[in-house]
Structure 1
Amino acid sequence: MADNQNTFTLVDPLTGNLAFKLFLFEDNSYFDHLQRNNYFSVIWVKGGSGRLKSDFSEYSFEKDNLLAFTPYQPFMLSTEQAINGAAIQFHPDFFCIHKHHKEVSCSGILFDNIYHPPYIKIDSTSAATFDMIINQVKAEMQNKGMAQFDILVSYLKIFLITASRLKSEQQALDRDPDKVNKEPFVLQSLQDAIEIHYKTKHSASDYADMLNISAKALARITKSHFNKTISNLIAERIIIEAKRELYLTNKPVKEIAWELGYEDEYYFSRFFKTNADVSPQMYRETVGVGRASDNQLVN
């Protein structure tokens, strides 16, 4: 459905909620307040600049930046120069990045990447690809035809794959040996340690001891490079896994809490709500336990 010439929306007939949406924006009125949506958002800022507040951090963004956010990830844009661009939003029931990880591989790169800012710089080649996809989506949404759902998912996959490849390339440049010094080496060790132990070790001091560095020194380096504290990183990693389990499985919250190192289900639920601004049960109900990928959507 075309709400107007700049907004195109698909609605899930089972819930009445947004399934897929493309809209073109010419100012910051949509993003100038805190966003906590139950769907993914990918925002291409074609022009303008400003400040992005997301999770525990604040960043600068500029034209030709692509911003990416997961369900219930908080973000807000404050502009320094008027912005314009295009945004794609989709619910996990329309396209689940976890179920299709082998095809798209954007989880942990474009989305849920706690060690890098939630944006990438768009080059001219990728910009041409994104423009082509956006025009194809607009045409498809305006002229409903057979297999519209499958076609839109295909366009979305191309968009996400292109963005993920670009971010991977940019991260590889950041790891260029010529740029590496002692501090980034320690940080890579910290990342590896968190990925291995986040289910059992929840305190910053655990990781400082593990890396044989003072807690104060590790905290300084971490804040300098990631713009986050060690506790922020650990909490974000735990929440990412909890969200994944809540979406993909029917496990009771108590079981998920136990697997993530929390013996007290109620303590874990409070921890989750503090960091996700929604209870585990509400997250499951609004983002949804993964349903069949062939849901029939209407426009």
Structure 2
Amino acid sequence: MNSTSGVRAAIPPANRPTIRQLEYLVALGAHGHIGRAAAACYVSQPTLSTQIRQLERHLGVAVTERVGRGIVMTAAGRELANRARSILHSTDELMEWGRSTVTDLIGPLRFAAIPTVAPYLLARVLPAVRDRHPEVQTLLDEIQTTELTAALMSASIDLGLLALPVPDDALEHRIVLEDPFLLAMATDHRLAQKTTVTMDDLAGETMLLLDDGHGLRGQALEVCRAAGARSDGDTGGTSLATICQMVAASMGVTLLPSSAAPIEAREGAGIAVRPFSDVNPCRRLVLIWRRNSSAAPLYRELAELMAERLAEPAS
């Protein structure tokens, strides 16, 4: 390649010095004597001398020169020994980093959650990630279930947080939260006078649903069919926050995950929530990853930490 291009031609791997040769060079620079350097490296003097000569051929510069009956390092050799020491130090750091990934997550961690989870639980689970793996850099995304699982399969993300079921056997998961559904209604709704509700109470009610693509929509439809509630196919929302605004405006009722209630049914929001007394509608939230991921053991441990954190009362 033209030297004026500013890009150096790659050196063929066969012409590169080995780590062992650099170690011999550093030892020679430290001891200044072939015999003592060889002893420090636990090799014979001829072995070290042969490797130094090969190194000189790779570098195209003399590392040593004969003075009288002895051998001393050249000025270039001393500088090369200093540079080799820095390379060996970087190699050690590389080895330490590689070993540390067996017990710790390091660097970017691409994490995604479904929209009915991300605003309500990420603030609770992410501290568990940082506490256990302080060197990790979490990159967050909020995407629907189908897109999330596709991103996992293509390795666009590393971890996901979504609701069961998991659609692919190539993905491994651990349950981190049992998330019961509450019935959400306007504070002046007739059912708001009750402390609990039943499936029979839903008969004739209009159930507000999320738009297609949200897993929560399918779960709400199942409850609708079982209870005889109506669902308005033309009226939906892109988010739980939107649905809850519609509930507060007395446009219908909805199923609200307990994890979302502290935010969406907070005091002054115009929404009342009631548990079911005769059934236990619930979604199971899972941490999910590729089954063949090299970090799978760490992800399993992380799922346990998240489950512990989510079992604590929300602050």
* TM tier, smaller: under 0.3
Higher radius of gyration, 1 or 2: 2
TM-score (norm 1): 0.22
TM-score (norm 2): 0.21
